[in-house]
Chain A
Amino acid sequence: MSEKVLVKEVGSALPSHIDLFICAASYDSRTLSIVSTLAPLIVNKIIVFIDPGNSGAFGVDAVRYMSERFGEKVTVVEFDLANPLDIADKIVKAISNVQEATGEVVVDITTFTQEALLILLRVLQISTLSGANTTGAYTGAGDYSVGLNAEGKWLTKGVLEIRSVLGFAGESKPTQKQHLIVLAGYEVERAEKTIDAYEPALLSIGLGDPNESISKSLFDVNKWFHGKLIERYREVKHFVFSCEDSTHTKDAILKQVQDYPGYNVQIAPMNTKISTVGVALAAMEDTAIQICYALPAEYNREGYTSPGDFAYVFKLQIPKEK
């Protein structure tokens, strides 16, 4: 269950003492929303991941800000977002260096890419941090693709490659057909390219639940994009999922999988990072599920999002590896 609080009051929902805080620095202005509210005294260690080639000046400045504010408690880890092996190796190494931190761990999931976040969650599942008390935190967006109307909004352009997410290869059987589940967000092109690349025997397109969306205006945008997808692909199974509660997202996905048994399932998460956590949890529970990721060619660095007023704090209950 997620707790929704004002960003400026997020500290009240987080543990009073944090042994390890994990976050990513990117061009997204939400990078600092949560970490800037933390008093240096309550945090033991911060690991901040950054892809210098992809984070823009804002990401670099954000790391500088954290280093100045938290001093030597900050460890900066550079990774290459285009290379999933590099992402995994750097995360594994960074986390193996802090294995004493088995107490309170907080992960600000907001500004990781979907792929890096999924890999991080898998590493958390198999590392000694799996025994920690882990809390997830997420800053909602005030707006996406700031300043543009629904039709003109874009977060990413182009797709360089569609690949399975490292650690979520699934257990496909060559005797079965494919069921592709898309958690639609605001990126029609990315979703279309993914669907066209698979041409699945069964296609499910999920829409964010209006009652569990970050805001009414974001739901409207999501619905508009969802409509665009439905227009193109006729034989589609519909479902709704939560954009703000990962456990609810997980349940919705597992139900969608169970409703159509006997397929190899691929999931393309393209909505909020909280729903991406839900996808990871579903794939950890049902290890036959594969998660896929469409690597964008370009991000809307100028106006990706504006920070919203609210943050979400939730227990990150990662199941033991089966």
Chain B
Amino acid sequence: MTDQLNPFAVQTPEDIPAADVVSLFVDVFSDYHNIPKPGHTFLNGPRGSGKSMMFRYLEPDCQQLRLSKPLSEIPFFGVYVPIKNTEIKLTEFNRLTNRHAEVVLSEHFLVTFVAVKFFTSLLKAQITDTKGDYAKSLREYYNGKFAQLLRWNGWTEALPDIPSMAELVDIINAFRDVFSGYYSIVTSYLRSLAFTDTPLPYRGPLFGYLDFMLPVIQEVRSLGFMPSVPVFLLIDDADNLNLTQTRILNGWVSTRTSDVASIKISTQMTYKTYLTATSQAISSPHDFNEVNISAVYTSAKDKYISRVEQIVNRRLEKYGIEGTAQQFFPEYVKQEDAIRKISEEIRSKWPEEGRGYRASDDVTRYARPDYMKSLLGSSKSGPSYRYAGFEQLVHISSGIIRYFLEAASLMFGEMRSQNDGALVKHIDTGVQDKIVREQAKQFFFGEFDKLECDENVGEEGVSHVKRLRNLILALGGMFHSILISDLAERRVFSIALTDETDEEVVKVFKLGVRYGYFHESSIGNKEGTGRARLFILSRRLAPLFNLDPTSFAGYKFATTAALKKAMDNPQKFNRQVGHESTDEILEDPQMTLFDGAGR
């Protein structure tokens, strides 16, 4: 067995050294231009869509390396603030619910947490201070204005001494320790609340964002070693804040102080509220800009392929593997040759039999589906379609980079064990196909078992999860039937709603969006009078239903009444699809969906 390192192993970004981040990260900010600019921003995307890596890349150590410039010349100063699950969302906070101190203490707790991260970022920036001038000015601030600010905020105890010979790094550490100490005072206080419902007095300081955090940032920024640019507070996974903490953070967003501190908030789309502690709503674009990662890449698939290609090439290079992404994940030659042959036939017959405006349109539309259809007659032991080749794998990852990397990592592990000591230079097509099929099964069957009881029960006692599962089975089956039909557009992956009469149907789709089974977009409605919701099935499921993952193009309009029936009984729905026009079934709520089954 070789000890060749896996280039696709998923690491937590905050633990990756700056040099590695800069060499591995593919700059995606032309796609998300609001993020590196001043102003508050929400960055929403499913787990694994690269949010934390983006934030890590914005930290000063990475930016200095990227631009080869000193700290004072970088365009912004990023402070990475990861919100881990129960680190600051302690159960003891529930003792304060609906009590006056809750908001004040929660804000103080958040401020101390962010302050520690601010000084941690300064440490990471490795500021050069050869003459000791910066150390001197920061020490003066510590003993002067900072000490005074603490007194104004209720802290009368003396600060720990900083020796006059202390270096800048020691003084930054002293600040970190001071805030860490204040943080501990709160956790100790919360611990004391665990088993009493009687309010206990809190004897620590109380810091607010406007009257404490921002002045500290402004003062430290004015000392010369930081650039005179906005500080970006990069709040990662803000879904992990409790409700009160979320409302407090929203209050910070509402303050319009982005010239001093711009707040960049990443969420996994389960952010608890957009209300502030005073129940005012923050909204986009008034208070913040919003970026939805999956929406960006769903509407620009070439951009996504190019991003993944750059990411893979960088990783291959870093791990000493020669060749390109396409060479490392080769196509199945026999299959692609057969598809090419079909393409040539389509091209040669196009002048007489062509359906599209150009021969190339028909090749794109029909060559691969025809090949997939040709395999259907073969026995189980005969050839089957192989999901292999870099581009196909990228399509299957459905706009979420971690899905690609996780599958690639498993493929690499499988190849390494098959290679019997030899270096892995490419991934066999059989291994590619096996892993993505396993991943699709896991995504559908494994994940659904987990979700089944997490969600609420809807009308008629059927859980939304059950309806979602049925909907996917119905649509997946129908899309496959369309793929192997003689219809003009066969690569259908999406459903556009002609109405929203049945709210339950929309809720089920939304649930699917939340768990990554669908992407949501919009499209012009049939009447040409406005937009209709468009739900695109995740292409991670393509191998499960034997679909062609290489296109988003096709969609079908459907009434919510028809979809409701599909949710109730996918088997009957699919039997019906085998007998009648899909358009009739999807668009006519009075259809003979169940009357004609089995005809």
Q: What residues of chain A have their CB less than 8 Å away from a CB belonging to chain B?
A: 84-85, 88-89, 92, 122-123, 126, 157-160, 162-167, 169-175, 177-178, 189, 193, 196-201, 234-235, 264, 266, 290, 292, 297-298
Contact = CB atoms under 8 A, between A and B. Distances in A.
7 contacts: A84-B91, A157-B450, A157-B452, A164-B86, A166-B91, A174-B179, A174-B183
A157 B180 contact: no
B195 A198 contact: no
Interface string B500-544: 000000000000000000000000000000000000000000000
B454 A159 contact: yes
Contacts of B89: 163-164
Given A122-B195, A157-B450, A158-B453, A175 B92 contact: no
Nearest to B197: A89
A34 to B, nearest CB: 27
Given A175-B176, A178-B87, A297 B184 contact: no
A201 B14 contact: yes
Interface stretch (B70-78, B112-120, B135-143, B158-166): B112-120
Interface core residue of B190, B197, B454 (most chain A CB under 10 Å): B454
B85 A197 contact: yes
Given A157-B449, A234-B9, 7 more contacts: A85-B95, A173-B184, A174-B116, A189-B449, A197-B85, A198-B84, A298-B453
B47 A171 contact: no
A45 B388 CA distance: 69
A160 B456 CA distance: 11
B591 interface: no
A interface SS class: mixed
A297 B454 CA distance: 6
Interface core residue of A163, A174, A177 (most chain B CB under 10 Å): A174
Contact of A198 (B85, B191, B449): B85
B278 interface: no
Given A157-B453, A163-B86, A201-B12, A169 B195 contact: no
B196 to A, nearest CB: 8
Contact of B94 (A85, A157, A167): A85
Interface of B: 6, 9, 12, 14-15, 47, 84-87, 89-92, 94-95, 112-113, 116-117, 120, 176-177, 179-180, 183-184, 187-188, 190-191, 194-195, 197, 240, 449-454
B21 to A, nearest CB: 15
B183 A292 contact: no
Given A157-B450, A158-B452, A174-B180, A165 B91 contact: yes
Contacts of A193: 450
B91 A163 contact: yes
Contacts of B190: 169
Contacts of A167: 191, 194-195
Contacts of A178: 84, 87
A174 B194 contact: no
Contacts of A198: 84-85
Contacts of A171: 184, 187-188
A320 B452 CA distance: 43
Contacts of A166: 91-92, 194-195
Given A163-B86, A164-B90, A199 B450 contact: no
Contact of B180 (A89, A126, A163, A173): A173
Interface core residue of B12, B116, B449 (most chain A CB under 10 Å): B12
Contacts of B94: 84-85
Nearest to B176: A175
Nearest to B123: A175
Given A189-B450, A266-B86, A196 B184 contact: no
B82 to A, nearest CB: 9
A189 B176 CA distance: 38
A169 B183 contact: no
A88 B195 contact: yes
Contact of B116 (A160, A175, A264, A290): A175
Given A172-B187, A174-B116, A88 B194 contact: yes
A170 B187 CA distance: 8
Contacts of B84: 178, 198-200
Which 9 A/B pairs are nearest by Cβ-Cβ distance?
A: A174-B116, A158-B453, A297-B453, A164-B86, A298-B453, A158-B454, A167-B194, A197-B85, A169-B90
Given A84-B91, A84-B94, A126 B195 contact: yes
